[in-house]
Amino acid sequence: MKKIFSLFATMICFCLAFTGCYDDNSINVYVPDGAPALSVSEMLYTNEQFNENVTYNVVSANEIANTILQQTADIAIIPTNIASKLCGDGKTYKAVGICTFGNLYVIGKNDITSLNELTGETVGCIQIQNVPGLTFQYILKNNQINYTLDENEANANNVLLKGIEGTDVVAQLKTNKISYAVVAEPLCATALSKFENNEVVKVFDLQELYGANYYPQSLLVVKNSLIENNLTFVKNFINKMQNNKNWTNENIDKCVEAISNNLKTGATPSFTNNNFNAEVLNNCNIGFMSAFENKDFIENYLSNLKSIEENAVGNLSSEFWFNYE
């Protein structure tokens, strides 16, 4: 019996290692729901395989980091600061390109025109410890506007920043717990639709406040082993991304379906037919630029975030950058 069991175990090991019983040949792509998913929407819609076995996964923003930590992602789009922390040494993943350039906006009950007018007000902010909150804090700091995250320190001479969930934005505005909110598309459009007669309006475009070229909000990272073993696939994937913006502009009616069809079962999609249109697409600022050719742009942004929170970014090695030309 022991000999039979041993032979059976050996056959299983042989099968797992050589015959494909355990399928480790699939290429797993993970992207966060929302604007990052739009940057690969054509591939999501067509289920582009590139003559390989590709699996597309749209997950929540809270789940994307784990796909890197657990190395389940062969390709992923992640916030730039998270990429610097988890992939900055370049040992397992490399930065390939910038995918989104900011989709954050300030909405509020008063149609103000200057950041100074936020002084003395309470501003709710989604993901206050991540890109949205850190970017907004940098903008306030860069404009010499005092702010605090401590309610006990709030006064008429500073801005009180309050971390809130996206699902609470409308309720907190309606109950006057906040006067303004920093939100991302499509939450911006969705929240505005809940108010009538311009009771709440869009007051600032954070991308314009940050700078003329906006900021590198998220990066495409690719596992080194995939680059080394299937460079042709990686280049074909990049080529599709470079042309994706044109596809989305010409196929606005297909974007919601593209993302929803690849969303984890039971998850609530960010984009629906009720909140997605050409204006929202434009406000998401998707695109594609080589990370290697725009190192200074990325490093400057990370430096700005680091000036707000030391631990928000990681150190970048020369091995982090992938030059695919």
CATH number at residue 170: 3.40.190.10
Whether residues 222 and 90 fall in one domain: yes
Co-location of 67 and 118 in the same domain: no
| Domain span at 69 | 26-102+215-320
- Both 117 and 179 in a single domain? yes
> Does any domain span residue 20?
no
Pair 144, 284 in one domain: no
Which residues, at least 6 apart from 317, have a Cβ–Cβ distance to it below 8 Å? 88, 89, 90
CA-to-CA distance for 18 and 182, rounded, in angstroms?
A: 52
The rounded distance, in Å, linking the Cα atoms of 96 and 284 is 20
* Neighbouring residues of 194: CB distance < 8 A, sequence distance ≥ 6: 170, 200
Same domain, 95 and 235: yes
Q: Is residue 18 part of a domain?
A: no
Q: Is 123 inside a domain boundary?
A: yes
Query: Do the bridges between strand 122-126 and strand 159-164 make them parallel or antiparallel, or are there none, so unpaired?
Result: parallel
Over residues 134-155, the pLDDT tens digits come to 999 999 999 999 999 999 999 9
Q: Is residue 17 part of a domain?
A: no
> Cα 296 to chain center, whole Å?
20
Using the 3D structure, point to which of 210, 232, 258 is the last residue of a domain. Answer: 210
- Contacts of 97 by beta carbon, 8 Å cutoff, 6+ apart: 219, 220, 238, 241, 288, 289, 290, 291
Number of helical (H) and strand (E) elements in the chain, helices listed first: 15, 12
Q: Give me the pLDDT at residue 24, please.
A: 60
Out of 177, 210, 243, a domain closes at 210
Provide the number of structural domains found in the chain: 2
Choosing from 189, 210, 231, the residue where a domain stops is 210
**183 and 37 in a common domain:** no
221, 314 Cβ separation under 8 angstroms: no
Asked if 87 and 224 sit in the same domain, the reply is yes
CB count within 10 Å of CB 71 equals 12
Q: Are residues 310 and 230 in the same domain?
A: yes
Please identify every stretch of the chain with a pLDDT value under 50, giving residue numbers as ranges.
1-23
What pLDDT does residue 22 have? 31
Residues 122 and 62 in one domain: no
**Rounded distance between C-alpha atoms, residue 27 and residue 227, angstroms:** 12
| CA 58 and chain centroid, separation | 11
**Are residues 89 and 233 located together in one domain of the fold?**
yes
Whole-angstrom Cα distance, residue 322 to residue 194?
44
In a domain, 1, yes or no: no
- 222-to-2, 64, 72, 234 alpha-carbon distances in Å: 45, 14, 11, 8
Regarding whether 204 and 117 lie in a shared domain, the answer is yes
Instruction: Establish if 308 belongs to a structural domain.
Output: yes
Q: Supply the DSSP symbol for 194.
A: T
